[in-house]
Structure 1
Amino acid sequence: MLHALTISRARPPTLCSRYVRTHKYLTERAAGGPLIPNVFSAFNRFPAGAARAALTAVRIALRQFNPAKGIGLANTNLAFFAGRLFALWEADLPYAIRLTESGDVETIGRHDFDGKLGVSMTAHPKVDHRTGETFAFRYGRAPPFLTYFRFDADGGKKPDVPISSLSRPPFLHDFAITEKYALFVETQIGMDVWRSVFRGGSPLRSDPNKVSRIGVIPRYAADGSEMRWFHVAGFNPVHVLNAWDEEDGHRVGMLVPNVTSVDRALERFDLTHAQVEKVRVDLDTGMVYRVPVSTRNVEFGSVNPCYVGRKNRFVYAGIGDPTPKISGVVKLDVGDEMAGWTRRESAVACRMFGPGCFGGEPFFVAKDPGSSEADEDDGYLVTYVHNEINGESRFLVMDTQSPELEIVAAVRLPRRVPYGFHGLFVRESDLRRASGP
């Protein structure tokens, strides 16, 4: 379900909550119940899990459900590119959606970019605001396990770049771009759906004998053989905050919230601890250097969108207390002048939501994204917050240049917005120019 808050000078704020009308949603709504299991919700142990999988196969054979039309929920993230607003889920194609003038959310439909995008796409595409290009990938259970691709500024899908240097299905939720490269992290976490069916539990598994790798491929690579891998032990980020090219031309930098104990995190999500690390890969020597820039348990971070793919100074993230609940937000100064490449706490501003109050992913909104003179942190941090004690929900707007992330505006919501995954701020001017079907 999408929750859209429309704020306009012309009328009071409008909150709209709608399901994305995916093929899965429409089919199961017509059937009056679930038909296709969500693998991430886990199967029961054998034989119940096997029976559930067999029942799904029978339903497909009886044409009660056509998986070729998509099995996705479109509930992980939102992205605005190619003149459209998309709802994303990494095991399906994007769903184009529209926000009407009244604030309603409408589903336009599944979008395959004129038949050039097949099967699925990551829920974390990267938009380069300077060039207008968008970069993405997909991963799966069959070779090639990873495929990289991009869209030009007009939304034209460019040819796939299959990457054959992975030997087994990975769990690749996110990645990063720089002006020259795209960066992937193959962690110790992998996908094993059949084990989930027959032994129960989540399909995500960690391999303690596996050494994580950072993959670096030229941004405009034409062949997957151009991918280079660099081993780095104990490196298991789920999300990537940003990446950039160093000035010397032969090193790339990256910021990630690294999960410090992946085994515990997969057993119990509330035991997850992620610390932000600054990573540097020397493309000439193959050396990888890492340094923690904050010891806080933070995830669901963002940077100024105008700095995607270039060196940034500030990061904004949610404080896990415990994960996945976010009890506050923090601003990190990870610039070389502050954090450098030494172990140092880089938190420069923080706001806790208060007893019993928890929020969603914070998102940075620049005051003037078109200005080249604006400071990187000249903007607002926005998020939804719910008070579990009195049941009140609010949308907060915080000043990112104030030492305490001062709340400068708040919208009291008529109902709760559930703790979700990711969100997006879209300007009214972009919504007006959004393409139709």
Structure 2
Amino acid sequence: MKLKEQITINNDALLTQYLEVRRMTEEICEPLQPEDFVVQPVVDVSPPKWHLAHTTWFFENFILKSHLKDYKLFDKDYHFLFNSYYETEGDRWVRSERGALTRPWVNEIMAYRKYVDEHMRHFLQDCQLDEALSDVLTIGIHHEQQHQELLVYDIKHILGINPLFPTYKAFNSSEIEPKLDEKYLKVPEGLYDIGYEGDDFHFDNEEGKHKVFLHEYQILDRLVTAGEFIEFIEAGGYENHNHWLMEGFEWAKKETIKAPFYWFKEDGVWKHYTLAGLEEVNPNEPITHINFYEADAFSKWKGKRLPTEFEWEVACKKYQAEIPDSANFLDKRHFRPMPRVGSDHQFYGDVWEWTNSAYQPYPFYQKVEGALGEYNGKFMINQMVLRGGSYATMKNHIRPTYRNFFHPHLRWQFTGLRLAETL
């Protein structure tokens, strides 16, 4: 979550980046109706209005309030309403009740965004940033990109549980016939470097660089598809305890889970809700909306396993260190996972990939002081690491060392898997 030493701070470049990110957030919300902005169907989903306000609160609270002379808060109550989890910043509205905030209205939140953006523009045009403040601004920009991804998750959840299956945007499903042979990428035994090293932006949970010994292994050269997951379902995969971790099997039984989230079978045909509305499942698209337990059970059913996050990172750096043009990110606005194109190994975009690694600090990890020290470190418990990004991730936000993390039972996010095995 910090930048390495910089010689000069380019305010114009930061302002351009800031405004582009802010516009993208509002573009994501353009198809919504006023009623959509307040809904919170489950605790993990935040209303779109809250995302719009919280990302704005970040810049007002961590930059303008303390660093712009004579700055006046847009509304003093917003600090309480739109703080997320920063204990250092004081009391906040309870997460599970964000949907109860019918006030302030959406138009008031949009006025809040405009107010803060105008002051940020003034600040960046007239004030020279030091390195520390530039770091905070850059974190805020990437923080908003993380909320853009969450916005897409949450919008899909809000619309996807509506029995009318409303369309967010109309998109055509790909007619690509991909090459879906089960081929593997081999990685020899050895010591490998893990973690970020460089001068560009990265989060603190990617530090510090360290060595990990890996036995020889191989990893699938693409993502697992929906069609392959249908085979698991129809082979009784959800009912056979032999494939499952005990905790996962108990979860599936308790919640009567028989398929990925948003899926159901009608007249013998598997259908699912997409952001383009209700569709038949495309068997060539990567499987998504499965949690860690489901990914782990599928891999065992196939006689394989999930890769560790270290195996994933090493294979990614070895076979696809640079992001290919074919990678499916939010920038392309497909708003769905896409079938594999050509020889793309799909290490980037489409769906986040579950790994078999618990989210823990790397050696040499150091928590930064103050509120931003709460950004990553305090969540390093009871969560699993995911890698690679999704179709709701911006391309300039991801890299091979990026570590995402979620609790193992969650599946409203865009998550899938690839297989691995030790040789």
TM-score by length of structure 1 reads 0.26
More helix by share: 2
Greater RCO (CA < 8 Å, at least 6 residues apart): 2
More strand by share: 1
